[in-house]
Structure 1
């Protein structure tokens, strides 16, 4: 095994097969893979698609199972195929972005060290009221997979301080649970000048308002009903503000009804999902991203917003608290504190420069902390090499 050049395998199946690197957790896999190749490592991706986004990355196609991808049986069928393929390669490390893959690999007796980077932890989500969003039977499968992965993976990378605590509670040893946040692709997310002019046909009342956006799933655990209640309770006039909720999900109809009942349809607009190339325009046009979540492992939209120089207003949960500093790159409030959120919104609506003056520090924080090249170097040094040197030391002592 060469310290200078590692052979790294990724398993990538949480995706739309027609959009590798742009959906599910596939963008995490491809961002890590491309940055690892830039560092001189040899990278292979095993997944249910044939397209490659980068000729330097070797792609090995796993057929889509007869029962499809969107069910537990199909997932396990595909992952068992992936585990068999892993045994045919001489990988130094296998790195996966979720714990179904890691559980199936270790149960399949893969001898290669497994590293897990995952956005969340099922036990954490189940501990939060309205936090899961999973059907009961699928949650049980995830609980078993999380336990197996925590105990058997050589490293579980915690993407927030709170996730480190939860993975250790799930069974991962503290010394095998490094804290390294997820990175953001700075070539995909960056500030776009004149973004409001570009989006003018989509902005209510033009681009002169104070603009807030939310990006993500419209579901209970995201706290969006609290956001609507907070906007409705603001004492000062809110006619100069616009809120755009970008996404879709099971809460959409209920959310729209609440917006209508409050008479806020001219203030709050639900927008459909947008492509990432368009999403950077929304981040750039916005004065702030709002994250009213009840639970977050580490919000990826938070990092994307900071990459565009956009401050974040969010709850004091998990990865948000790790990165957002009051008055520096955004504002935080306690989970469920509708009045606290209303006060922050009222303050920044009345004094929009209090947000716009934070754009430079938001971007500086991103560049220093959350760019993928920085994160990937940390993974190589603090995880891969540390783990492989540990194995060498054990072999030498025998």
Structure 2
């Protein structure tokens, strides 16, 4: 008698229309390490294959999400779950689960990347206070009550999910960092003549990029050979470029816009310290990427950013005060080797995609 082939675990991964290489997209890099067959519901073959492991026999299912509301998309996913048999569902956007059958919700792990409203930070908030926004919040809250488990990408998010959504089960998972960052680890050349500061992220007021530029005249008085490279796009770009010209910082601050992945790695390799004055983060992928490469960070010590300081590879400041920022830079330079090695150590333990996949599989097994 021929033995029946072993049935592989099948997972439906719901990945909304995020740009490849963005923080939310990178949060799914663990997929290629799952010992399962994953069906990835994404925008295009290019985007889906970004997460696939070509060495495994994973099935990639793609579809166009453009123009779809989360209501219509949730119905498509419900039909997909009816037609195909899945053991588990993983999503980074709980609002896409509203029409999923209760039986399937019990086998679902939702890993939200943040909450759409931040009561403490009003600057990005004015246009969000509308009926549709509140309905989406209520739906997310209702769905979270019925999913098998919620995953948190930081201790801050763990506390927020527990307090706001009160799920049945919650696990601290963290977000993964691309393997290339671990392969490009560096150490500080003590003979370096130029201090290279690097910001990576969206150019909007919430991220505090304007504050970094405003700190630069004081930084240059203390460290005359400093350069700040700003990587990213956003609604503030024109205003930031104008501010650079107004402060006569053209030789010292360069806004590069969005760059390709290879170029991004080069900027990290050339950086001495990663810097961010963001007013809110649920995780902050660039700080984790820098840690994997052995590059310490200076961060505004709030929300999830504070955790990077507590983990021992970043220094923090609190006020929009160039003196506080300078003091944090000084602490990093005085303890560079210690912070650098600590960053590599923590990143290998918490942010390597394979480690994240192990934690996720442990949660999924608890849903049986």
TM-score (structure 1 length as normaliser): 0.79
Deviation at 1:132, TM superposition (A): 4.5
Are residues 1:180 and 2:173 paired?
yes
Q: Quick check: 1:45–1:60 contact (8 Å CA) kept in 2?
A: yes
Cα contact 2:220–2:226 (8 A) shared by 1: no
Counting only pairs closer than 5 Å after superposition, residues 31-110 of structure 1 correspond to structure 2 as: 31-36=29-34, 40-51=35-46, 52=49, 53-55=52-54, 56=56, 57-62=58-63, 64=64, 68-69=66-67, 73-105=68-100, 110=104
Query: Which residue does the alignment assign to 1:396?
Result: none
Contact kept? 2:94, 2:140, Cα under 8 Å: yes
Matched, 1:7 2:10: yes
Is the 1:192–1:280 Cα contact (8 Å) retained in structure 2? no
- 8 Å CA contact 1:210–1:352 kept in 2: the answer is no
Q: Contact conserved, 1:212 with 1:288, CA < 8 A, in 2?
A: yes
Q: How does 1:257-272 map to 2 (within 5 A)?
A: 257-272=242-257
Q: How far off its partner does 1:283 sit? A: 1.2
Q: Residue deviations 1:347-374, cap 9 Å, x none?
A: 26xx946435632332122112221111
Q: 1:316 aligns with which of 296, 301, 318?
A: 301
Distance 2:122 2:155 in 1: 20
Whole-Å Cα distance in 2 between the matches of residues 133 and 251 of structure 1? 16
- Secondary structure of the residue aligned to 2:229 is strand
CA contact (8 A) 2:15 2:93 kept: no
Looking at structure 1, the residues matched to 136 and 217 of structure 2 have their Cα atoms a distance apart, in angstroms, of 38
Distance 1:295 1:337 in 2: 17
Following superposition of structure 1 onto structure 2, how do residues 312-351 of structure 1 map, counting pairs within 5 Å?
Answer: 312-325=297-310, 328-334=312-318, 336-345=320-329, 347=330
Q: Deviation of residue 112 (structure 1)?
A: 5.3
What's the RMSD between the two structures over aligned residues? 3.1
* Counterpart selection for 2:224 from 239, 260, 264: 239
Instruction: Tell me if structure 2 keeps the 8 A contact 1:114–1:154.
Output: yes
Q: Cα–Cα, structure 1 residues 133 and 181, in superposed 2: closer, same or farther, change >3 Å?
A: farther
Alpha-carbon distance between aligned partners in 2 of 1:113 and 1:335, rounded to the nearest angstrom: 44
Corresponding residue for 1:222?
207
Separation in structure 2 between the aligned mates of residue 279 and residue 12 of structure 1, nearest angstrom: 23
Q: Is the 8 A contact 1:32 1:372 kept in 2?
A: yes
Aligned to 2:25: 26
- Deviation string 1:77-100 (CA, Å, 9 cap, x unpaired) is 233212210222221210001222
Task: Provide closer, same or farther for how the CA distance between residues 191 and 325 of structure 1 changes in structure 2, counting only shifts above 3 A.
Answer: farther
- Equivalent residue pairs, number: 355
* Counterparts in 2 of 1:274 and 1:315: CA distance versus 1, 3 Å: same
* Alignment of structure 1 residues 149-298 onto 2, 5 Å: 149-173=143-167, 176-187=169-180, 190-191=183-184, 208-234=193-219, 236-298=221-283
SS, match of residue 140 in structure 1? helix
Q: Which has the higher contact order (CA 8 A, sep 6+)?
A: 2
Tell me the equivalent position of 1:380.
Answer: 361
Contact conserved, 1:159 with 1:298, CA < 8 A, in 2?
A: yes
Task: Write out per-residue CA displacement over residues 361-394 of structure 1, whole angstroms, 9 at most, x where no aligned residue.
Answer: 321221122211111111111x111222xxxxxx
The answer to whether the 8 Å contact 2:201/2:233 transfers is yes
Partner secondary structure for residue 227 of structure 2: strand
Q: CA shift at 1:273, angstroms? A: 0.9
| Counterpart-to-counterpart distance in 2, 1:333 and 1:224 | 15
Give the gaps of 5 or more residues in structure 1: 197-206, 389-398
In the superposition, relative to structure 1, how do residues 157 and 193 fare at CA in structure 2: closer, same or farther (>3 Å)?
closer
TM-score (normalised: structure 2): 0.85
Q: Secondary structure at the match of 1:10?
A: strand
Aligned counterpart in structure 2 of residue 371 of structure 1, from 352, 358, 364:
352
